[in-house]
Amino acid sequence: MSTETTLIESLKRRANEFTLKNRALDVAPIGITIADLSQPDEPLIYVNDGFVELTGYTKSESTGRNCRFLQGDDTAEKPVARMREAIENRDSVTVELKNYRKDGTPFWNQVTLAPIPDEHEVTYYVGFQQDITQRKQFEKRLTEQRDTLETLNAMVRHDIRNDLQLTLSSLELLEPYIADSEKKHLRTALDSTQQAIQLTVAARDIADVLLRDGADTHAVSLELTLLDEIESIRTEYSTVTVNIEESLPSVDVEADKMLPSLFRNLLKNAVIHNDTDEPRITVSAATHDETVQVRIADNGPGIPADQREDVFEKGTKGEGSDGTGIGLYLVKRLAEGYGGSVTIADGEGDGTTFIVTLPLA
């Protein structure tokens, strides 16, 4: 094959590659533009079909103009300034800003700009545009729902809970003045008020779990947290025996302010669903490499093997239970949010043993 033929074949291959690249740019599902920085006002010299579909402007209407024609009254200055600064410094940048289509319809545009260097200087910039309006609308709805949940959480924490505590105190003050034959009604009222207070605690925990930022974890003492919750259970349920097997490790785990709720729900679950005359709970913990395992075992009726996965689902309640069905659901959400897990041990005799694995801080 002659040198001339080889050169022609090479030119053909390059021409085909160039054509293929151009076709790829044209059919890309996002807007692509190229601006010429060597010309006055840095006009667009190329826009693809995706840009036409995104903005409504034809290629002839778009080229020869600075891309600011997409801006409008509600376009924020900050992202525009960031793009301007990046171009001046010949850097890449990604911003999100409100742009306007040809028909005046606003949309949220995620714009990425990158320099196209040659041998001497940056003369061209490539831009990628993507419509993120739906994502922005979803984020706005999430923010509004979060604000509403925070308001309801504040009401539950303070207004409703305070009123219930006041009601409980008033009912207790009435007890000496109630005839013995009528005290059953007072006891019903006291029990109902206590249950309502417990529901506010559950509602508070649900809100805190939903509102928490999973990335905002820090070192929390496992030993102190467990000891506090064990003491609370001993105080609240005087007939329950809680034993600590050996000593708890003095380690910190990666968690947040909701860690006490995780163990409180497991300990209460061990009490509430225990139908024995002498309820017992055994708590133990041991470190393993970069994690710590906490075991909470009870001598209750146990959980059938085919139901062990279901107990962690929201709304699942045991037979005859008058609880909310969210305690173990919260436990699982929290444990997994900390990068850990919660499981039920197999084949350990009577009762139930929950195993919580958490990362060490």
In a domain, 199, yes or no: yes
Which of 91, 111, 131 is at the close of a domain?
131
Using a 10 angstrom Cβ sphere, with 0-12 exposed, 13-18 middle and 19 or more buried, the burial of residue 28 is middle
Q: 44, exposed or middle or buried, with CB in 10 Å at 0-12, 13-18, 19+? A: buried
- Which range has the worst mean pLDDT, 160-164, 212-216, 227-231? 212-216
Do residue 174 and residue 255 come from a single domain?
no
What is each CA distance from 17 to 3, 10, 325, in whole angstroms? 21, 11, 62
DSSP type of residue 157: I
Asked if residue 106 and residue 146 are part of one domain, the reply reads: no
- Helix pair angle (259-272, 183-211), 10° resolution: 140
What's the pLDDT band for 48 if we cut at 50, 70, 90? Answer: very high
223 falls within a domain: yes
pLDDT at 343: 92
Claim to verify: residue 195 and residue 230 sit in the same structural domain: no
Mean pLDDT across the stretch 179-205? 82
Task: Evaluate whether residue 243 is within a structural domain.
Answer: yes
What pLDDT sits at residue 127? 96
Q: What is the pLDDT of residues 104-154, one digit of tens each?
A: 999 999 999 999 988 778 999 999 999 999 999 999 988 888 787 777 777
Q: How confident is the model at residue 353 (pLDDT cuts 50, 70, 90)?
A: very high
For residue 136, tell me if it sits in a domain: no
Residue 111, number of CB atoms within 10 A of its CB: 22
Residues 158 and 103 reside in one and the same domain? no
pLDDT category at 201 given cuts 50, 70, 90 is: confident
In a domain, 58, yes or no: yes
Q: Note the pLDDT of residue 129.
A: 96
Q: Phi-psi region for residue 41, left (φ > 0), alpha (ψ -120 to 50) or beta? A: left
Residue range(s) defining the domain that contains residue 104 = 3-131
- Residue 178 shares a structural domain with residue 287: no
- Statement to judge: residues 227 and 351 lie in one domain: yes
In terms of domains, do 247 and 343 share one? Answer: yes
In a domain, 224, yes or no: yes
Contact 62, 46 (CB under 8 A): no
Q: Report how far apart, in Å, the C-alpha atoms of 335 and of each of 2, 201, 259, 266 are.
A: 72, 19, 9, 12
Residue closest to 248 by CA, chosen among 269, 233, 263? 263
Tell whether the model's pLDDT for residue 273 goes beyond 70.
Answer: yes
Strand 252-255 relative to strand 291-298, pairing: unpaired
In single-letter form, the type of residue at position 113 comes to: L
pTM for this entry: 0.54
Name the strands in the sheet holding 122-131, side by side, starting at the edge strand that comes first in the sequence: 44-47, 31-36, 122-131, 106-117, 93-100
328: how many CB neighbours lie within 10 A of its CB?
A: 23
**Domain identity same for 70 and 190:** no
According to DSSP, the residues that pair with 205 across neighbouring strands are none
Q: How many structural domains compose the chain?
A: 3
- Please say which residue of 77, 98, 131 terminates a domain: 131
**Is residue 176 in a domain?**
yes
Q: 220 with 361, same domain? A: yes
Residues 12 and 118 in one domain: yes
Q: Is the pLDDT of residue 318 over 60?
A: no
- CATH number of the domain where residue 76 is located: 3.30.450.20
- Reference 96, options 123, 66, 131; nearest CA is 131
Regarding beta strands 218-221 and 252-255, do their DSSP bridges make them parallel or antiparallel, or are they unpaired?
A: antiparallel
Please count the residues of the chain. Answer: 361
Residues 313 and 178 in one domain: no
- 349 contacts: CB under 8 Å, gap ≥ 6: none
Cβ atoms of 285 and 265 closer than 8 Å: no
**233/238 Cα distance (integer angstroms):** 8
| Strand pairing class (122-131; 93-100) | unpaired
Tell me the CA distances in angstroms from 267 to 18, 145, 229, 281, 295, one per residue in order.
68, 32, 8, 8, 11
Instruction: Write down the pLDDT at residue 75.
Output: 96
Chosen domain end from 131, 165, 181: 131
Residues 190 and 243 placed together within one structural domain of the fold: no
Domain CATH for 298? 3.30.565.10
| Residues 277-309: tens digit of each pLDDT | 889 999 999 998 899 999 999 988 888 777 777
Q: Give the phi and the psi of residue 72 in degrees, each rounded to 5.
A: -155, -165
Bigger pLDDT: 296 or 312? Answer: 296
Which tens digit of pLDDT belongs to each residue from 17-32?
655 566 666 668 899 9
The strand order across the sheet containing 241-244 reads 241-244, 280-288, 291-298, 353-359, 341-344
Average pLDDT, the chain: 86
| Lowest-confidence segment of 115-124, 321-330, 334-343 by average pLDDT | 321-330
Q: Please give the Cα distance from 195 to 52 (Å, whole number).
A: 62
Q: What is the average per-residue pLDDT within 326-351?
A: 84
Cα 328 to Cα 14: distance, rounded to the nearest angstrom: 64
- Residue 291 — φ and ψ, nearest 5°? -135, 170
The pLDDT of 228-241, averaged and rounded, is 92
**Residues of the chain above pLDDT 70, percent:** 86
pLDDT band per the 50, 70, 90 thresholds, residue 4: low
- In-domain check, residue 137: no
Closest among 85, 90, 141, 134 to 108, alpha carbons compared: 134
Q: pLDDT value at position 17? A: 62
